[in-house]
Structure 1
Amino acid sequence: MRKVLGTMLLVLATAAGTLGPVGSTAHAETTGVRIMLAGDSITQGFDGDYTWRYRLYQELTRLQVPFDFVGPHTEPYGGSNTYLATGWDTDHDAKGGTTLGAQLGNITGDMEAYRPDVLVALYGTNDLRLGVTREQLMDRWRSYVAQARAVRPDVKLVLGEVTSAHAADHDASNEALNQLAVELSTPESPVVVADLDSPEFDLQRDTYDHTHPTPTGETLIAQRVAEQLAGLGIVPAQPEIVQPFVPWSPPVKANVRRVGRTLVIDWHATKHRYRAREMRMRWTNVRTGRTRVTPWSRWNTHLRTKALPPGTYRVDLQASRRTMTSAWGPAVERRVSRH
């Protein structure tokens, strides 16, 4: 569990897509407001994501808020444990594919173990997709809040609306959630709702599959959460997180070796590392500038070129994940000789 003092990490609060310093040693050992970010894959993120948690981290750091993200997990979903930003507090309580109903069996233990001052919970997408009714979802929220308060009667709660186009009845459920928050809120333990399903949230721009956020969508989710934290007195000024466009920028790099007068290009590792759905590659003769670009490929993870004229070749990759397409990644140069 890593603790953070915003003033010592202000360097991380540059552009929304900027990579932070490598490693966790930059986190200062100091106390601050304990924030547990809970949810499903929208909160956990996938390999090859920044995540909205990182965007929130950047803003709290910029505003010099002493804080500590807490929770039982640190990794994104996918298996390679690869975020697009490093050197930040990745602790969280999110699990891809989970439901609010499933987490009713875990929240008491997580509250006891991590004692958050603030609990930010974005659930409901998978509940609604699995056929849970609006009324049943509200009952689950009631139980979740009650269990959290049983451990920390003064916990502050930020609940998140459902935005997924695949979640049935999510508009009515969001309206019911806002009404429930008013009913459950107390001066000691306020309950507020992050306005995620707002007109500003564009499923085409802010998600890549009508559910999971693009880097641009991450900034809007973090903005809405931070606005509620400001209302609770945790953030001292108006948050400035949302960006009109943030590119997806995995540094995909090929493994290239020369075999005779051919090049063998492999991209299996980098495809898995950044959870790319499709890849394509190009190789360029450095002297002549002649370039060959392959079609997008979902299933193949390597190829061998035909015999190439002698010379130096630059090989680079490009990745896509549904509607997101990266820039061309770092190039690898190999020399092809006559023999």
Structure 2
Amino acid sequence: MSVLTPTVPAAAEDGPARVLIVGDSVTQGYKGDFTWRYFAWKGLASQGEEVDFVGPRSGTFFVHEDGAWDWDYTGEGAYADADFDRDHGAFYGGRMGPDDNFFYEPIGQEVASYVPDVVMSLWGINDLTREQEGPQDVIATYRDWVAEARASNPDVDFVLGRLPYVWIDEVPEFNDLLGTLATDLSTERSRIVVATMTEDYTQSGDSVDHVHPNTEGQRKIAGMMAGALSELLAAPTPEPETLPTPAPAPIPVPEAPPAPASVVAPVDVAEALSDAAPPGSPRRVKAVRKHGSRTVVTWRASVGPVDHRVRCGRVRTVATASKAVLRARSARCRVRAVGPGGRSPWVRVRVRER
């Protein structure tokens, strides 16, 4: 990944708005993708919006024939159509962090280096699924992330995208909490708007796997993100209470052409960094409620996990042993193992009353 170097001048008061787009593989794209950044740029340009995409990269992700990973591939076929402003700050496997590993880049450094007027982000899915954090934990990280960006520039604005993959368990709650975050943190000096999908977005019709979008999915994400950005740029002094849920501007992003042959990396980057096998599922899981709301969850651990994630309704905890006690009234609980090689499927059980 690129080393951030503060080589650009301060943002001009007049001229195009400088926009730093950050995110993970969904935003960077794989060799041969159009990417949603392409459709966003084309749509904004068609409406006369003057924006300058900035950031440490201009390429896509690519795994070469010799197995080498390229986090900023700009060679032949990097994009299905390279005729757009390709600068960005997204990268495969990216997380908000900080988690002191390969997949985190400090947003404060990026803001200091590239001096954006607006940071546009589509974050969270790797934090939710790879780091095994619950939605509330990821939102707490998002708050710290916003504070880190503001420490470099107290006047920077934000467009935060709701995750379109609503078929994933944790995503709907995360999306709801993202609106609360914007309400809590948005100010007249540093505004936060939340981009929301207005078109039907489905796993079968808009993605090539569990998460990564096909070309039509890229177009729909672009409409969501570009619409919120246009709304923000058109309203320099909005009422604070209207900021979290702006009506997306009608940005007519181009119709999606036929999908390229390759639209997603052939490897899962996060898992490929570890040679360890994922842990097996916990066995003989039981949940018993005692003394009103005290729920005791027990299980027999499989070989290999570092810890276990336990959830009873909205109450959750992390356990390093084979037992967890939660104050929850939910009728069901679930447990899964987490290790260096990944995570096991959830094991769900009904709570027995004692």
TM-score by length of 2: 0.58
Contact kept in structure 2, 1:104 and 1:144, CA below 8 Å? no
Match of 2:43 in 1: 59
Instruction: Give percent identity, aligned residues only.
Output: 33
Gaps of 5+ in 2: 1-13, 63-69, 236-247, 267-354
SS in 2 for 1:116: coil
Q: 2:24 aligns with which of 18, 29, 40?
A: 40
Contact kept in structure 1, 2:108 and 2:152, CA below 8 Å? yes
Counterpart CA distance in 2 for 1:57 and 1:145 is: 24
What is the root-mean-square deviation of aligned Cα atoms in Å? 2.5
SS in 2 for 1:94: coil
Which residues in structure 2 correspond to 1:1-339 (within 5 Å)? 31-78=15-62, 79=70, 81=74, 82-102=78-98, 106-130=106-130, 131-164=132-165, 167-196=168-197, 200-234=200-234, 238-241=250-253, 243=255, 246-250=257-261
User: In 2 relative to 1, CA 92–234 (structure 1 residues): closer, same or farther, beyond 3 Å?
Assistant: farther
> Any idea what the Cα deviations from partners look like across 1:82-125, whole Å, max 9, x if unmatched?
11012321110001011111477511110000010010011110
Counterpart CA distance in 2 for 1:120 and 1:162 is: 13
Gaps of 5+ in 1: 1-29, 251-270, 278-339
Letter in 1 for 2:108: T
Counterpart CA distance in 1 for 2:207 and 2:151 is: 36
SS in 1 for 2:200: coil
Contact kept in structure 2, 1:104 and 1:140, CA below 8 Å? no
SS in 1 for 2:141: helix
Counterpart CA distance in 2 for 1:191 and 1:205 is: 30
Counterpart CA distance in 1 for 2:195 and 2:160 is: 6
> Any idea what the Cα deviations from partners look like across 1:2-27, whole Å, max 9, x if unmatched?
xxxxxxxxxxxxxxxxxxxxxxxxxx
Letter in 1 for 2:80: L
Contact kept in structure 2, 1:134 and 1:169, CA below 8 Å? yes
CA drift of 1:247 comes to 1.6
User: In 2 relative to 1, CA 249–135 (structure 1 residues): closer, same or farther, beyond 3 Å?
Assistant: closer
Report the count of equivalent residues: 224
Contact kept in structure 2, 1:35 and 1:70, CA below 8 Å? yes
CA drift of 1:237 comes to 6.0
Letter in 1 for 2:229: L
Counterpart CA distance in 2 for 1:275 and 1:231 is: 31
> Any idea what the Cα deviations from partners look like across 1:102-159, whole Å, max 9, x if unmatched?
4775111100000100100111100110211112101111011111111221211011
- Higher mean alpha-carbon deviation, 223-232 vs 109-118, is at 223-232
Contact kept in structure 1, 2:29 and 2:35, CA below 8 Å? yes
SS in 1 for 2:60: coil
Counterpart CA distance in 2 for 1:177 and 1:36 is: 19
Contact kept in structure 2, 1:128 and 1:168, CA below 8 Å? no
Contact kept in structure 2, 1:204 and 1:210, CA below 8 Å? no
Counterpart CA distance in 1 for 2:265 and 2:181 is: 39
Match of 2:6 in 1: none
Q: For the pair shown, which has the larger CA radius of gyration, 1 or 2? A: 1
User: In 2 relative to 1, CA 275–41 (structure 1 residues): closer, same or farther, beyond 3 Å?
Assistant: closer
Counterpart CA distance in 2 for 1:231 and 1:37 is: 16
Counterpart CA distance in 1 for 2:264 and 2:137 is: 34
CA drift of 1:166 comes to 7.5
Contact kept in structure 2, 1:134 and 1:172, CA below 8 Å? yes
Counterpart CA distance in 2 for 1:120 and 1:69 is: 10
CA drift of 1:192 comes to 1.2
